[in-house]
């Protein structure tokens, strides 16, 4: 079978990560890079790939699939154009910057029948796949509570890129917390309500630097979530999980804690805690670290994208998943501004101030 020809739009940090994954994955070749920036020529030369200055020129070459790794506000326009050209797309998160834009992408997918994935790569991490099995087991029971911490100290120069400090486009809610939202939905199902807070006090930029949320789930349980890109500390998935050893140092700490009715789990170490006998705080708990084989999440994601292109699989993280993640982020922002709990509607795309999802 011939290699899948994948074009990558955007040769920035995340675009280069996708290029590495495509080059390393079996059965794929880089069909081209679309980016007018100065660093794109170096990337094209490194991978021996054609360089396009224009998205339409790349479309004319009819690649098998397209990875869209451009600034957030361009995602929907490029994805819709790919769908209209009949080419499946893998769109980096967030799938859109507004839910209304995400709806237009969903409508285009329905019209043309062309699949679109959202790039929440953690769904392909073996640690997360094992965790999903565990929290769905009788050993864990049902979710009661959990806590997630994402503490990152981004350098001032990171915000020299304008979109990263632009409201509605940048900020750790859209850049970082949205990954946590997708992870929690993948593990525990749809979110029922949110109560959010956000602050700009540390950096003083137009976008938040620190935010938190209390989430409740339709199937029960609640999780507290806190994220900051201005706080020192290693307690963040990006630092603790070792997914990007070329970009971030790996610290052996935990960032995610989930307590069920029968057992508890921490991540990324996959330490499972349970009582050997009666479940009471008077009895000592025992822990065991669940075994898992290491694998690159981005390679797993691109391999799955190949199966989606062939029609052998539905997107593990669909455009609808991406839209629902975005709607949760919007609800957290709105809750922070209004100072009240918001409830997600049944479609997961809107929130309201009173009453459970209908």
275 lies in some domain: yes
DSSP single-letter state for residue 174 = I
13 and 157 in a single domain? The answer is no
Examine the pLDDT at 358 and tell me if it is beyond 50: no
Could you give the 3-state DSSP secondary structure of residue 56? helix
Is residue 91 within 8 Å of 119, Cβ to Cβ? yes
Q: DSSP per residue over 40-107, as a string?
A: HHHHHHHHT--EES-HHHHHHT--SEEEE-S-GGGHHHHHHHHHHTT--EEEESSS-SSHHHHHHHHH
- Closest Cα to residue 260, out of 188, 315, 327, 309? 188
Tokens of 43: 């990337």
94 and 44 in a single domain? The answer is yes
275 and 158 in a single domain? The answer is yes
170 and 268 in a single domain? The answer is yes
220 and 334 in a single domain? The answer is yes
| pLDDT at residue 206, as a whole number | 95
Cα(225)–Cα(268) distance, rounded to whole angstroms?
Answer: 16
58 lies in some domain: yes
64 and 131 in a single domain? The answer is no
199 and 238 in a single domain? The answer is yes
39 and 144 in a single domain? The answer is no
The 10s digit of each residue's pLDDT in 107-140 is 999 999 999 999 999 999 999 999 999 999 999 9
Per-residue CA distances from 82 to 6, 28, 110 (Å): 12, 19, 14
354 lies in some domain: no
Q: DSSP per residue over 258-282, as a string?
A: EEESS-EEEETTTEEEE-SSS-STT
36 and 103 in a single domain? The answer is yes
Region class of 100: left (phi > 0), else alpha (psi between -120 and 50), else beta = alpha
Mention every residue, 6+ apart, whose C-beta is less than 8 A from residue 15: 8, 9, 33, 35, 43, 67, 69, 70
311 CB burial (10 A radius; 0-12, 13-18, 19+): exposed
Residue carrying the six token digits 């307690």? 235
82 lies in some domain: yes
Question: Domain total for the chain?
Answer: 2
Is residue 24 within 8 Å of 85, Cβ to Cβ? no
Half-sphere exposure of 35 (CA within 13 A, CB side): 27
CATH number at residue 239: 3.30.360.10
The 10s digit of each residue's pLDDT in 148-190 is 999 999 999 999 999 999 998 899 999 999 999 999 999 999 9
Cα(308)–Cα(294) distance, rounded to whole angstroms?
Answer: 23
Tokens of 352: 């309201």
355 lies in some domain: no
349 lies in some domain: no
Q: Which domain holds residue 85?
A: 4-122+297-317
- Closest Cα to residue 200, out of 337, 85, 304? 337
165 lies in some domain: yes
Taking residues 318-334, what's their average pLDDT?
Answer: 98
Instruction: Read off φ and ψ for residue 199, nearest 5 degrees.
Output: -145, 145
199 and 91 in a single domain? The answer is no
103 CB burial (10 A radius; 0-12, 13-18, 19+): middle
358 lies in some domain: no
110 and 38 in a single domain? The answer is yes
| pLDDT at residue 250, as a whole number | 86
Examine the pLDDT at 247 and tell me if it is beyond 60: yes
Q: Are strands 191-199 and 143-151 parallel, antiparallel or unpaired?
A: unpaired
Tokens of 232: 């020192």
327 CB burial (10 A radius; 0-12, 13-18, 19+): buried
Q: Are strands 222-228 and 286-289 parallel, antiparallel or unpaired?
A: unpaired
Per-chain mean pLDDT for the chain:
96
Mention every residue, 6+ apart, whose C-beta is less than 8 A from residue 306: 4, 25, 27, 28, 65
Instruction: Read off φ and ψ for residue 14, nearest 5 degrees.
Output: -75, -30
pLDDT band, residue 60 (cuts 50/70/90) = very high
96 and 185 in a single domain? The answer is no
The 10s digit of each residue's pLDDT in 1-45 is 789 999 999 999 999 999 999 999 999 999 999 998 888 999 999
């Amino acid at each position: 079978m011939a290699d899948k020809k994948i074009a990558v739009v955007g040769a920035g940090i995340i675009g280069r990560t996708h290029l590495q994954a495509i080059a390393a994955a079996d059965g794929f070749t880089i069909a081209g890079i679309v980016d007018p920036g100065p660093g794109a020529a170096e990337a094209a030369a490194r991978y021996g790939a054609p360089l396009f200055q224009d998205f339409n020129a790349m479309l004319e070459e009819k690649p098998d699939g397209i990875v869209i790794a451009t600034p957030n506000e361009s995602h929907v326009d490029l994805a819709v154009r790919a769908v209209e050209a009949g080419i499946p797309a893998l769109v980096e998160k967030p799938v859109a910057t507004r839910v209304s834009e995400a709806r237009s992408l969903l409508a285009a997918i329905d019209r043309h029948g062309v699949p679109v994935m959202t790039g929440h790569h953690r769904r392909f991490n073996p640690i997360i796949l094992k965790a999903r099995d565990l929290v769905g087991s009788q050993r864990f029971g049902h979710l009661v509570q959990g806590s997630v911490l994402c503490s990152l100290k981004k350098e001032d120069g990171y915000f020299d890129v304008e979109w990263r400090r632009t409201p509605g486009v940048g900020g750790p809610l859209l850049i970082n917390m949205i990954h946590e939202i997708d992870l929690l939905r993948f593990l525990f199902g749809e979110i029922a309500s949110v109560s959010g807070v956000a602050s700009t006090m540390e950096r003083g930029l137009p976008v938040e630097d620190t935010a938190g949320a209390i989430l409740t789930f339709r199937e029960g349980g609640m999780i507290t979530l806190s994220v900051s890109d201005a706080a020192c500390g290693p307690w963040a998935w990006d630092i603790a999980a070792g997914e990007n050893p070329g970009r971030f140092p790996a610290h052996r700490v935990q960032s995610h804690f989930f307590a069920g009715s029968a057992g508890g789990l921490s991540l990324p170490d996959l330490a499972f805690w349970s009582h050997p006998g009666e479940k009471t705080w008077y009895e000592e708990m025992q822990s065991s670290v669940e075994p898992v084989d290491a694998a690159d999440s981005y390679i797993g994601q691109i391999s799955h994208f190949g199966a989606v292109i062939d029609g052998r699989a539905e997107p593990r993280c669909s455009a609808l998943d991406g839209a629902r993640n975005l709607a949760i982020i919007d609800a957290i922002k709105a809750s922070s501004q209004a100072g009240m709990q918001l409830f997600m509607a049944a479609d997961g795309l809107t929130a309201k101030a009173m009453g459970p999802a209908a």
